[in-house]
Amino acid sequence: MGRMARKLQGDWPVSAIPATKIAMNEVDTEMSLLGSLIATEGALEYSAGLIKPEWFSEPILRYIYEQCTKLAEAGHRLSPPTVIAAMPEDIAGVPRSQFYAHLTRESLPVSMIGGMLQTVKDRWARRVLAEMGQSAIEQSQMHGADPYEVASRSMSMIDTVMEVQAEKSGSSLSEAGKQFFEDIANPDNLKGDTTGVRILDSKLNGFRRGQLYVVAGRPGMGKSAFMCSTARRTALSGVGVLIFSLEMTRQEIFARMAADQIDWTKAPGFGDLLRGDLKGMDDHVGNAYEALRKAPMHIDDSARLTFAEIAAKARRLKAEMEMHGVRLGTIWIDHMGLVTPSDRYAGNKVAEAGEVSGRARALAKELDCCVILLCQLSREVEKRDDKRPVMSDLRWSGEIEQDAHVIGFLFREEYYLNQQEDVDEIMLRDARWKMDFLIRKNRNGATDDVRLWCSIAHSSIRDNV
């Protein structure tokens, strides 16, 4: 096995490797792991989802692993002839049948592959970090390089490592059961952080930790109002809230929350507050400021952010909140389409959307909080007589549907009625102050249509009474 590994790597003397340094490419271990996966019955199925192809430093081993995974997914048995046929005919001067024999000669049972897997993953993480560090050093010394873009790419690579780390936690069924019974003994442990709306707390069990919520709608449906109103009330309950607003400024968000906080029939709308027209309600606006000033909320209104930057800032702010005795409960991202994509997928919108939703889900698990993505719906809604959105209206919906625990659509009939020339005044009056929250995916509960009360001018969302 060792001679074969050296044949792939190059015949370098072991004495040339300093004993004080870790070998970044454990090709012997990679070969043993791959051999165990393809030769041991059920091993590849056991490891499904646990091993990523890029963890193999040697390209030919990575290629063989990918081919075997495809065969297993297609329902083929990994018999020697099947696997050998999937290999290149010649591998580093070795016939493929001989290479297969080397791979499988020292295969181990399923129960023993964990150690090899951990080593292979560890070396991959170290290679990524080393590559990132070397690349950052080289680019930081170039005259035309933007240091902030260099930092962003570096954070993206670090996030790739952190996402894998976030996936490794686990426990036995016995431990999971013990935790479950401890939780149901105190039902509050099973509840998420409040949305500020009783009916939504009931239907969704609040904003639950470790989960990704997607709230989508066409322009004018009230996404910003929903975010500002529910985030305000979550924060006022004592739970930390972090808002990444790539669309609105922090002043606009404050004006919306202040108008909502006053919650009075004649209160100024947020548009009035932004114009400085307090309508003689200076004291009420001042009281709203005092209430909101103490809320554990942070607003980042950077115009451009990659998800790597969002994740890095979220980690830092979570640590800062915890230093002040506050638990970070929810992270809002407004909105998904404005997150700057990485270079990985180069304009492939479906893949870019999947990258954002996948990383948002991973961030929720890593930070043990709820991440809420606001999304725009496609224009297909406008082409139908029935404007109520359906799942296919979600842009690049396949990846988002898969990643999200909860998907809710916002719909306001009043918005569309106001666009009609011969609108029925009775229908218009009945639709006023109404918003529908359409739960179209709820992994831990039922789907439903929920009627809410809203005042868009005040960014206020309440239970419908």
Model confidence pLDDT, tens digit, residues 386-409: 888 888 888 666 678 888 899 999
Per the listing, tokens 């639950």 go with 208
pLDDT given at position 22: 65
pLDDT (0 to 100) of residue 31:
85
pLDDT tens by residue, the chain, 465 residues: 555 655 565 544 444 445 456 666 677 888 888 888 888 776 776 665 678 888 888 888 888 888 888 887 777 788 888 888 888 888 878 888 888 888 888 777 766 777 788 888 888 888 888 888 888 888 888 887 888 777 777 777 777 777 666 555 555 555 655 565 565 566 666 678 999 999 999 999 899 999 999 999 998 899 999 999 999 999 999 999 999 999 899 999 998 998 888 866 667 888 888 888 877 778 888 888 888 888 999 999 988 888 888 888 888 889 889 988 999 999 999 888 888 877 776 667 777 788 888 889 988 988 899 999 999 888 888 888 888 888 888 866 667 888 889 999 999 988 888 888 887 788 888 888 899 999 999 988 888 999 999 998 888 999 987
How many Å apart are CA 236 and CA 120, to the nearest integer? 46
At residue 223, the pLDDT reads 92
Residue 177 is predicted with a pLDDT of 58
Give tens-digit pLDDT for 257-291. 988 888 666 678 888 888 888 777 788 888 888 88
CA angle 106, 111, 116 (to 5 degrees): 55
Q: HSE (CB half, 13 Å, CA atoms) of 443?
A: 14
CA distances from 186 to 180, 182, 189 (A): 10, 7, 6
State residue 449's pLDDT score. Answer: 92
pLDDT of residue 14: 42
> 186 with 160: CB under 8 angstroms?
no
Burial degree of 136 (CB within 10 A; 0-12, 13-18, 19+): middle
> pTM higher than 0.75 for the full model?
no
Contact criterion met (CB below 8 Å) for 408 and 245:
no
Which pLDDT value is given to residue 229? Answer: 93
* pLDDT tens column, 441-451: 998 888 899 99
